[in-house]
Amino acid sequence: MTEHIQLNAAQETALSRDFTTLSRHVLSHLGSYSPDAYDLSALMGRIGLAGKMISRHLSRAGLVEDALGVTGEVNVQGEAVKKMDQYANRVFIRAFEQSGLVCRLASEEMEKPYYIPENCPIGRYTLLFDPIDGSSNIDSNLAVGSIFSVRQQEGFDEGDAKDLLQNGHKQIAAGYILYGSSTMLAYSVGKGVHAFTLDPSLGEFILSQENLRIPAHGSTYSINEGNFCQWEESMRDYIRYIHRQPGYSGRYSGALVADIHRILFQGGVFLYPGTIDRPDGKLRLLYESAPLAYLVTQAGGRAITGKEDILDVVPQKLHARTPLIIGSPDDVTLVESFLTGQKDAIAAVG
């Protein structure tokens, strides 16, 4: 006779956790087994696959040819292309070819979207991504990330991808992968933020934090203070104010994803304001600012340009940039009060 085998409670809990993989989580979280839910789950699974491949390449970067250094080319942003930027961009494309899921991929590294004609009759989604965020960190073996965002294709694209020039509320999913001391993925499909850790022994992203909530306030601020003399006076006033407050620490990793990850868990604020040379700052709206704004907002945080919510900004072109102030709601509101000259609010917080 076969006995019904029972494990103890701790073993059962560990087993349930190990079976909560990324694609299974998306399905169960959407609470539906509709075609849309299956598509989103498959889409997230493909993003996870790309993340695993990039993570593997990064982990052996010092051992393999063509992983470190620059290609000698300059991208559409006018920045030197790293070999890893090119590799990761290609990985995302390969992950979605023949997937039937997306018809277009648009990335920080490509001037125009990459079309997958064989997917177009059925692939209703567009993936927008930054394949390697913080790529100047790669050659020093420091943390980098990938950022992704999913939008539904609207109407017929005549090759100009005009329908992508819409605000961030149009995103239906967004998140990032952080290649740090472990590889983690955080995503939202508009129902909270969930974080997964890549278990290398299983080769799977396993749920590690569900329904993340960002602290209302944190003690770190994250900004490249080397640009101090390039900022507007109101931004300099904010930084001078922070310097006078006890208990604040500066933390800036050079990779937006890594800084946002810390802020999501521990609170604080990240700032990349405009400068004299670049009034719109450095970060790209469609591939960086809007996806992270969607995610952080879903966790209870805020993201603004200084003048308006990031999610309300309509880009004029695919590679448009915006200033970005993002993080804990109270900290973002404090920065905003400096930038909009609301001195009363400043006095109230000391």
Residues in contact with ligand AHM by CB under 6 A are 79, 130, 133-135, 224, 254-256, 282
Residue 204 backbone dihedrals phi, psi, to 5 degrees: -135, 145
Q: State in angstroms the smallest separation of the CB of 329 from ligand AHM.
A: 21
Q: State in angstroms the smallest separation of the CB of 94 from Mg ion.
A: 20
- Binds 180: which of Mg ion, ligand AHM, none (CB < 5-8 Å by kind): none
Which residue, 146 or 337, has its beta carbon nearer to ligand AHM? 146
Binding site for Mg ion (CB under 5 A): 130, 133
- Binds 280: which of ligand AHM, Mg ion, none (CB < 5-8 Å by kind): none
Q: State in angstroms the smallest separation of the CB of 125 from ligand AHM.
A: 23
Which residue, 130 or 204, has its beta carbon nearer to Mg ion? 130
Q: State in angstroms the smallest separation of the CB of 175 from ligand AHM.
A: 15
- Binds 330: which of Mg ion, ligand AHM, none (CB < 5-8 Å by kind): none
Which residue, 79 or 280, has its beta carbon nearer to ligand AHM? 79
Contact status, residue 285 vs residue 312, Cβ threshold 8 Å: no
Q: State in angstroms the smallest separation of the CB of 102 from ligand AHM.
A: 21
- Binds 254: which of ligand AHM, Mg ion, none (CB < 5-8 Å by kind): ligand AHM
Question: Parallel, antiparallel, or unpaired for β 183-188 and 194-199?
Answer: antiparallel
Residue 139 zone, left/alpha/beta (φ > 0; ψ -120 to 50; rest): alpha
Radius of gyration of the chain (CA): 21
Q: State in angstroms the smallest separation of the CB of 77 from ligand AHM.
A: 7
- Binds 39: which of Mg ion, ligand AHM, none (CB < 5-8 Å by kind): none
Q: What angle do CA 303, 309, 312 make, to 5 degrees?
A: 125
Which residue, 124 or 278, has its beta carbon nearer to Mg ion? 278
Helix (H) or strand (E) holding 23: helix 22-30
- Binds 332: which of Mg ion, ligand AHM, none (CB < 5-8 Å by kind): none
238-243: long-range pairs with CB below 8 Å, 24+:
238/334, 238/335, 238/338, 238/339, 241/338, 241/346
Which residue, among 161, 155, 173, 144, has the nearest Cα to 54 in the 3D structure?
A: 144
Which residue, 40 or 54, has its beta carbon nearer to ligand AHM? 54
Which residue, 29 or 262, has its beta carbon nearer to Mg ion? 262
- Cα–Cα distance, 271 to 263 (Å, whole number): 12
- Cα–Cα distance, 93 to 113 (Å, whole number): 11
**Residue 170 half-sphere exposure, CB side, CA atoms within 13 Å?**
18
Q: State in angstroms the smallest separation of the CB of 134 from Mg ion.
A: 6
Contact status, residue 196 vs residue 17, Cβ threshold 8 Å: no
Which residue, 52 or 82, has its beta carbon nearer to Mg ion? 82
Which residue, among 229, 239, 316, 237, has the nearest Cα to 271 in the 3D structure?
A: 239
